[in-house]
Amino acid sequence: MTKDAYSLADEAAAALRSAAGLDTFDVALVMGSGWVPAADAIGETVREIPFTDLPSFRAPAVAGHGGKIRVVRTSSGRHALIFLGRTHLYEGLGVDAVVHGVRTAAAAGVRTLVLTNAAGGLRPETQNVGDPVLISDHINLTGDNPITGTTFIDLTEVYSRRLRALVREIEPALAEGVYVAFRGPTYETPAEIRMLRTLGGDMVGMSTVLEGIAAREAGLEVLGISLVTNPGAGLSGEPLNHEEVLEVGRATAARMGVLLAKVVDRL
């Protein structure tokens, strides 16, 4: 019999604890495209563990996704697991691979998860490139789900109201929005962007929602933050490209890093 995804996460968590030299961790952060440079501000690096040293992890396929877990001690003495990069559904490895990091973090004792991503902005009237936006809810258009069977998980509050309020104590003007995920890897068509605006979406990307669902299944409290790296296709007249996404991440890394460091210290 092949092992199920949850047992594989238990195995990876045991390997992670041993490689990190720690029994438990206070928080995990997943750094999406453009967010990797912000990781440096969160705390002092205790260890860096390549994904490929841990069972059932894959090296990320995408440029700008680092491919390791950094164990960090924050200024208040908390221990954070920072995932420098993630696996995306469009890589074709299946949904269990996409959420393996989240399940591993949960199995290693994490109770709070911060999911970051780069996103196209669907509301250029109010959003600027380089703005962080708190994810208030999501629309999952990936066509997939990390849960199979009769596990009916409540998704009324995937992204914790309490954590959003905590971030707003630090940055009161931060906007909130609904994140829509497609499978990718193509960017959207202008017609799809118009559809998503009508559906009530505020940001669009190719990640986060499946991890958010797996995290809620595991009982984690989730904070989601998008970095708006471009207006959605057709909204600006410019073609979209991944290099632009990474460039906005580099340009805003210091601000995002300070924000995340403050959030982690207040958890």
Catalytic residues: 188
Angstrom distance (rounded) from CA 35 to CA 106: 22
Angstrom distance (rounded) from CA 32 to CA 86: 7
Closest separation in Å from C-beta 120 to ligand HPA: 2
Query: Which residue, 14 or 129, is less far from ligand HPA as judged by CB?
Result: 129
Closest separation in Å from C-beta 241 to ligand HPA: 10
Residue 11, number of CB atoms within 10 A of its CB: 15
Closest separation in Å from C-beta 31 to ligand HPA: 14
Among candidates 142, 134, 140, 122, which has minimal Cα distance to 159? 134
Helix boundaries (H) for the chain? 5-20, 95-107, 161-170, 190-199, 209-217, 242-266
Query: Which residue, 114 or 196, is less far from ligand HPA as judged by CB?
Result: 196
Tokens of 100: 């393996």
Query: Which residue, 9 or 122, is less far from ligand HPA as judged by CB?
Result: 122
- Is 84 within 8 Å of 31 (Cβ atoms)? yes
Tokens of 245: 């996404």
Closest separation in Å from C-beta 207 to ligand HPA: 8
Given the structure tokens 């595991």, which residue do they identify?
A: 218
> Which amino acid is present at 184?
G
Angstrom distance (rounded) from CA 106 to CA 109: 5
Sites of contact with ligand HPA (CB under 6 A):
118-120, 187-188, 204-206, 229-230, 232, 240, 245
Strand partners, 179: 138, 203
Query: Which residue, 3 or 250, is less far from ligand HPA as judged by CB?
Result: 250
Closest separation in Å from C-beta 154 to ligand HPA: 27
Query: Which residue, 78 or 197, is less far from ligand HPA as judged by CB?
Result: 197
Angstrom distance (rounded) from CA 85 to CA 51: 9
Contacts of residue 173, defined as CB under 8 A and 6 or more positions apart, other chains included, come to none
